[in-house]
A and B are shown apart, each in its own frame.
Chain A
């Protein structure tokens, strides 16, 4: 018996050590990341403080409980005492619990005030959650782009081996400068998403009709991976966040390149496009932005995502087709693409869907050019 007791007590005493070795090692797979910013470090410290307070309370309460169960077991001949309250004991533990909570509340409030700060940043980035990708826009420079999952469907389906960054890689990460206060303005385009980068301790819901703010200031260059954390539909798990923090000069070069690309894009709008050029561009646009719902074969998943093959609109009504792409469809999952994409993109994907899957042979096969989209926009503006 004495031996069992010794082993039991030993186990109770060693338990916290096992925990601590599991949990406080740097870059642990078992614990919250410490992160790279001051705020994330404060939050990690707070998390560990609260955790250890809970562990200590737990060890005390459970020790008393298991000791009582052991000591006062009937099989050993324990006879029940006859008391059922103790005024001062009850007052005592209520007060003690309150004091512990105050002890927790003080640092929590300090960290919260530190983390909560919606003043302007040096760089302000508008983050928009879409089903199922992120759009980033640098407000100072008026350039933006979409960031899509780059893991292949074959990897997801298990047809090829999964890469190191399976489901945590994108075609174009968000780029931010180091040692700069960056403010994120976060909103949603369709349903609620949530933008999370654990290493910055930034998690903020992206809600349609609202603009939430968050901020960070990253000291070191690096690549930081996060996720969407609010259920947003079928591909909720497939719209990761990747942020690349770079030195200021590299960031400026990146922005300059983006500005030049945007300028080039504007030039493309006035260019005369051939059908083949539009088709090629439309096909890749379709694969990235449309195939998730309407499927690569255009069949969609009716009735939620209608088929584009042999539809009246894709075959005979190019005006309606443009309107749907530009304005979206109220009360459905079809978003308005007009604000987010260039005239060239919209025109090319309309042309592509009017030609592909034998829509071209069976329908009117109208080619929609970027100029048509500009004309549509001007008409709406009037």
Chain B
């Protein structure tokens, strides 16, 4: 029986040759690979924009770019990193790992999967093309507050709106696929509370995406109407309300923030238990903590808007609800530490990135807690303190989670071990440069430097020079990561099925060969 399945497999359903393999693929691994490479390319494009920003800010005065282009750089850097790097990378990881972790042959809706991916290059092609148009690209910040993004925007804003719509469709289709897969294709015996934490994190993330992406689509559609069809949703002169924009945007935006961190929670949980050789501490509280964070994310949005002039009761409500998020987040950090406690710990590259994740994400959490304190936020709001905060949760947070996942699962994906020495070198260079870049931002922010400034007063000069040096170092270091990934794909020590010592018991993906067969599980495994 099994030989029949085998020959059937290789006879008809192996990967097609050439470009059509990628264009028409419905295979979860191929699509996962596409997502990951797309995100990797976008990381370098968005990163190049960050380099332009840091080069301009290296010293006071306008040297390299004019403010108009600087604003396009900050805007597109943010949009690309959020929608083009972090989100697609997590979807790519989900594509690769979910079927393998739940014992399924593929995703539930493979053609939809293909569509979800191929929408993305279209969306970003449109977005990036605006930079080459006469009026320039979007220049109103990644949060695109009206009326700067409507009445006062360059006409290329219409391309931006269209591109956001396409990204939204892609995310929603991807989420539908993920939810369907998780609910219908788990191996027999894998009850919800036996699912790997990465699967849990993605189940919750997918619901968040389905809930808030339509809100984003709504807000850009209202912009489209204001710009082209004479409505006044956000135009005070026509009876509209510019603050409404911010409420709708952040009702999307705050859950979006957790969309970008929850899958990293799942990844880091797996890596810490693997390299501590000890099961994750408090599995069920990890699940409940992620669910609480997701639910709370819908009632904290206005903490991004403490200075718009809310009534006292509103300010206090959003302060308290935001502080509440520290509880489930704290529980997760305590659980990770308790997992390491009395383990048997080794320090391979994925573990190093995960330890750095726990430490530095917690620092980002602390500054988040400080930002939640309304009266103090009057001083922090829209300064580099905020920039430091969200880069600490997004770079050593989300991005470190993704890099750790890449090192952790690359041997599984490619069948080759990565070069451990180079991996450690990559880690230490990244760890040092990320802190040199983002830690001083706390100080310049507190000292009073507002964000999105192409030029600044002289007292901020020293820190800005230091930050720029750190940023260049961080940017260059990621080329090393690219080299390591390519080297691992092409060669390397043959990886065993379980790859990491003792990982065989930790998840179904480690029971498959490295690299795994094209249709992961053709026979459903039994989970005890």
Whether B330 is near chain A, meaning CB under 8 Å from some CB there, is yes
Find out whether the CB atom of B343 lies under 8 angstroms from the CB atom of A98. Answer: no
Q: Which of B343, B381, B451, B455 contacts A81 (CB 8 A)?
A: B343
The stretch among B26-34, B120-128, B361-369, B422-430 that forms the contact with chain A is B361-369
Distance (Å) between the CB of A188 and the closest chain B CB?
A: 8
Mask of B316-333 contacts with A, CB within 8 angstroms, 1/0: 100110011011001101
Q: Which of A82, A104, A115 contacts B323 (CB 8 A)?
A: A104
Whether A138 is near chain B, meaning CB under 8 Å from some CB there, is no
Mask of A213-237 contacts with B, CB within 8 angstroms, 1/0: 1000000000000111111111111
Whether A10 is near chain B, meaning CB under 8 Å from some CB there, is no
Whether A205 is near chain B, meaning CB under 8 Å from some CB there, is yes
Q: Which residues of B have CB within 8 Å of A83?
A: 281, 342
Bound complex: CA of A194 vs CA of B450, how far in Å? 11
Whether A266 is near chain B, meaning CB under 8 Å from some CB there, is no
Whether A308 is near chain B, meaning CB under 8 Å from some CB there, is no
Mask of B338-357 contacts with A, CB within 8 angstroms, 1/0: 10111111110000000100
10 A-B pairs closest in CB distance: A209-B236, A212-B309, A54-B366, A237-B453, A229-B382, A81-B342, A80-B344, A80-B278, A80-B277, A84-B279
* Interface magnitude class on chain B: 35 or more
Q: Which of A64, A98, A158, A228 contacts B337 (CB 8 A)?
A: A64
Bound complex: CA of A203 vs CA of B327, how far in Å? 29
Q: Which of B315, B323, B337, B359 contacts A116 (CB 8 A)?
A: B315
Bound complex: CA of A156 vs CA of B381, how far in Å? 26
Find out whether the CB atom of A205 lies under 8 angstroms from the CB atom of B308. Answer: yes
Find out whether the CB atom of B382 lies under 8 angstroms from the CB atom of A157. Answer: no
* Interface magnitude class on chain A: 35 or more
Find out whether the CB atom of A82 lies under 8 angstroms from the CB atom of B278. Answer: yes
Question: Given A61-B333, A97-B330, do A208 and B147 touch, yes or no (CB 8 Å)?
Answer: yes
Whether B472 is near chain A, meaning CB under 8 Å from some CB there, is no
Bound complex: CA of A176 vs CA of B231, how far in Å? 41
Find out whether the CB atom of B355 lies under 8 angstroms from the CB atom of A69. Answer: yes
Whether B60 is near chain A, meaning CB under 8 Å from some CB there, is yes
Question: Given A89-B338, A303-B135, do A111 and B276 touch, yes or no (CB 8 Å)?
Answer: no
Distance (Å) between the CB of A327 and the closest chain B CB?
A: 11
The residue of chain B having its C-beta at the shortest distance from the C-beta of A158 within the complex is B61
11 contacts between A and B (CB under 8 A): A47-B379, A58-B363, A62-B362, A64-B341, A69-B340, A190-B151, A207-B309, A209-B236, A209-B237, A229-B450, A236-B453
Distance (Å) between the CB of B76 and the closest chain A CB?
A: 14
The stretch among A159-167, A276-284, A354-362 that forms the contact with chain B is A159-167
Bound complex: CA of A101 vs CA of B343, how far in Å? 30
Find out whether the CB atom of B378 lies under 8 angstroms from the CB atom of A231. Answer: no
Whether A267 is near chain B, meaning CB under 8 Å from some CB there, is no
The residue of chain A having its C-beta at the shortest distance from the C-beta of B285 within the complex is A90
Q: Which residues of A have CB within 8 Å of B369?
A: 50, 54, 104
The residue of chain B having its C-beta at the shortest distance from the C-beta of A62 within the complex is B359
Whether B415 is near chain A, meaning CB under 8 Å from some CB there, is no
Known: A72-B344, A204-B309. 13 other contacts (CB 8 A): A39-B375, A43-B379, A58-B362, A73-B346, A74-B344, A84-B282, A108-B375, A112-B319, A114-B375, A191-B148, A205-B309, A207-B309, A238-B455
The stretch among B177-185, B441-449, B480-488 that forms the contact with chain A is B441-449
Distance (Å) between the CB of A221 and the closest chain B CB?
A: 21
Whether A79 is near chain B, meaning CB under 8 Å from some CB there, is yes
Q: Within residues 280 to 332 of chain B, which ones have a CB less than 8 A from any CB in chain A?
A: 280-285, 307-309, 312, 315-316, 319-320, 323-324, 326-327, 330-331
Find out whether the CB atom of B450 lies under 8 angstroms from the CB atom of A162. Answer: no
Find out whether the CB atom of B375 lies under 8 angstroms from the CB atom of A42. Answer: yes
A residues sitting closer than 8 Å to B (CB atoms) are 28-33, 39, 42-43, 46-47, 50-51, 54, 57-58, 61-62, 64-65, 68-69, 72-75, 78-86, 89-90, 93-94, 97-98, 101, 104-105, 108-109, 111-116, 131, 155-158, 162, 164-168, 190-192, 194, 196, 198, 201-205, 207-210, 212-213, 226-238, 301, 303-304, 330-333
The residue of chain A having its C-beta at the shortest distance from the C-beta of B239 within the complex is A209
Find out whether the CB atom of A112 lies under 8 angstroms from the CB atom of B135. Answer: no
Distance (Å) between the CB of B134 and the closest chain A CB?
A: 7
Whether B216 is near chain A, meaning CB under 8 Å from some CB there, is no
Distance (Å) between the CB of B436 and the closest chain A CB?
A: 16
Find out whether the CB atom of A156 lies under 8 angstroms from the CB atom of B455. Answer: yes
Distance (Å) between the CB of B37 and the closest chain A CB?
A: 33
Distance (Å) between the CB of B329 and the closest chain A CB?
A: 9
Distance (Å) between the CB of A268 and the closest chain B CB?
A: 31
Q: Which residues of A have CB within 8 Å of B60?
A: 162, 166-167
Distance (Å) between the CB of B228 and the closest chain A CB?
A: 10
Mask of B126-159 contacts with A, CB within 8 angstroms, 1/0: 0000000011000111000101100110110000
Q: Within residues 433 to 461 of chain B, which ones have a CB less than 8 A from any CB in chain A?
A: 443, 446-448, 450-459
Find out whether the CB atom of B147 lies under 8 angstroms from the CB atom of A203. Answer: no
Q: Within residues 237 to 283 of chain B, which ones have a CB less than 8 A from any CB in chain A?
A: 237, 240-243, 276-283
Find out whether the CB atom of A237 lies under 8 angstroms from the CB atom of B455. Answer: yes
Find out whether the CB atom of A209 lies under 8 angstroms from the CB atom of B241. Answer: yes
Whether B383 is near chain A, meaning CB under 8 Å from some CB there, is yes
Bound complex: CA of A105 vs CA of B242, how far in Å? 30
Find out whether the CB atom of B375 lies under 8 angstroms from the CB atom of A68. Answer: no
Q: Which residues of A have CB within 8 Å of B236?
A: 207-210
Question: Given A112-B315, A237-B453, do A46 and B326 touch, yes or no (CB 8 Å)?
Answer: no
Q: Which residues of A have CB within 8 Å of B282?
A: 84-86, 90
Bound complex: CA of A303 vs CA of B133, how far in Å? 12
Q: Which residues of A have CB within 8 Å of B457?
A: 165-168
Bound complex: CA of A301 vs CA of B152, how far in Å? 14
Find out whether the CB atom of A207 lies under 8 angstroms from the CB atom of B242. Answer: yes
Bound complex: CA of A226 vs CA of B285, how far in Å? 46
Distance (Å) between the CB of B447 and the closest chain A CB?
A: 5
Distance (Å) between the CB of B425 and the closest chain A CB?
A: 20
The stretch among B63-71, B160-168, B199-207 that forms the contact with chain A is B63-71
Distance (Å) between the CB of B426 and the closest chain A CB?
A: 20
Whether B402 is near chain A, meaning CB under 8 Å from some CB there, is no
Q: Which of A86, A111, A157 contacts B61 (CB 8 A)?
A: A157
Most interface-central of A78, A89, A158, A207 (chain B CB within 10 A): A207
Q: Which residues of A have CB within 8 Å of B277?
A: 74, 80
Find out whether the CB atom of A231 lies under 8 angstroms from the CB atom of B323. Answer: no
Find out whether the CB atom of A204 lies under 8 angstroms from the CB atom of B450. Answer: no
Find out whether the CB atom of B316 lies under 8 angstroms from the CB atom of A109. Answer: yes
Find out whether the CB atom of A32 lies under 8 angstroms from the CB atom of B324. Answer: no
Bound complex: CA of A210 vs CA of B235, how far in Å? 11
Find out whether the CB atom of B62 lies under 8 angstroms from the CB atom of A191. Answer: no
Bound complex: CA of A13 vs CA of B346, how far in Å? 26
Find out whether the CB atom of A332 lies under 8 angstroms from the CB atom of B379. Answer: no
Whether B376 is near chain A, meaning CB under 8 Å from some CB there, is yes
Q: Which of B62, B307, B359, B452 contacts A157 (CB 8 A)?
A: B62
Find out whether the CB atom of B456 lies under 8 angstroms from the CB atom of A192. Answer: no
Find out whether the CB atom of A32 lies under 8 angstroms from the CB atom of B446. Answer: yes
Find out whether the CB atom of A108 lies under 8 angstroms from the CB atom of B242. Answer: no
Find out whether the CB atom of B312 lies under 8 angstroms from the CB atom of A113. Answer: yes
Q: Which residues of B have CB within 8 Å of A64?
A: 337, 341
Q: Within residues 30 to 52 of chain B, which ones have a CB less than 8 A from any CB in chain A?
A: none
Find out whether the CB atom of A72 lies under 8 angstroms from the CB atom of B373. Answer: no
Whether B97 is near chain A, meaning CB under 8 Å from some CB there, is no
Bound complex: CA of A231 vs CA of B344, how far in Å? 50
Q: Which of B141, B243, B345 contacts A78 (CB 8 A)?
A: B345
Bound complex: CA of A31 vs CA of B139, how far in Å? 30
Q: Which of B326, B345, B374, B450 contacts A108 (CB 8 A)?
A: B374
Distance (Å) between the CB of B186 and the closest chain A CB?
A: 21
Question: Given A158-B61, A158-B63, A167-B455, do A46 and B324 touch, yes or no (CB 8 Å)?
Answer: no
Q: Which residues of A have CB within 8 Å of B344?
A: 72-74, 78-80
Q: Which of A68, A85, A190, A194 contacts B382 (CB 8 A)?
A: A194
Find out whether the CB atom of B378 lies under 8 angstroms from the CB atom of A43. Answer: yes
Whether B225 is near chain A, meaning CB under 8 Å from some CB there, is no
